[in-house]
A and B are shown apart, each in its own frame.
Chain A
Amino acid sequence: MKTGRVIFITGTSRGLGLGLAEHCLAQGDTVCGCSRAPATLTDARYSHYELDVSDEKAVVAAVRAAVRRHGRIDALVNNAGIASMNHALLSPAVTAQQIFATNFHGTFLFCREVAKAMVRQKSGRIVNFTTVATPLRLEGESLYAASKAAVESFTQVLARELGPSGITVNAVGPTPVPTDLVKNVPAAKMDALLARQAIRRFGTIEDVINVVEFFLSPQSEFITGQVIYLGGVNG
Chain B
Amino acid sequence: MNATDENKTAAVRRIILDLLPPEEGDNPRIFGAGAPLDSLGLVNFLADLEYRLAEEFGREIVLASDRAMSRGRSPFRDVAALTEYVVELLAE
Contacts and interface: CB of A to CB of B under 8 A. Distances in A.
B58 to A, nearest CB: 11
Given A116-B47, A120-B48, 11 more contacts: A60-B60, A60-B62, A64-B54, A116-B51, A117-B47, A119-B44, A119-B47, A120-B47, A120-B51, A164-B40, A165-B40
A-B interface, 4 closest residue pairs, ranked by CB to CB distance from nearest: A116-B47, A119-B47, A64-B60, A60-B60
Contacts of B44: 119-120, 165
20 contacts: A56-B62, A60-B60, A60-B62, A61-B60, A64-B54, A64-B60, A112-B64, A116-B47, A116-B51, A117-B47, A119-B43, A119-B44, A119-B47, A120-B44, A120-B47, A120-B48, A120-B51, A164-B40, A165-B40, A165-B44
B66 to A, nearest CB: 11
B50 interface: yes
Contacts of B50: 116
A57 B51 CA distance: 16
Main secondary structure, interface of A, reads helix
Contact-residue size bin, chain B (C-beta under 8 Å from the other chain): 10 to 19
Contacts of B62: 56, 60
A165 B48 CA distance: 14
Interface of A: 56, 60-61, 64, 112, 116-117, 119-120, 164-165
Nearest to B44: A119
A4 B27 CA distance: 44
Contacts of A61: 60
Contacts of A119: 43-44, 47
Contacts of B51: 116, 120
Nearest to B43: A119
Interface in B36-63: 40, 43-44, 47-48, 50-51, 54, 60, 62
A113 to B, nearest CB: 8
A149 to B, nearest CB: 24
Contacts of A120: 44, 47-48, 51
Nearest to B40: A164
A56 B62 CA distance: 10
Contacts of A56: 62
Contacts of A165: 40, 44
A76 B62 CA distance: 20
A120 B62 CA distance: 16
Nearest to B63: A116
Contacts of A112: 64
A114 to B, nearest CB: 11
A120 B45 CA distance: 9
A222 B91 CA distance: 43
A118 to B, nearest CB: 9
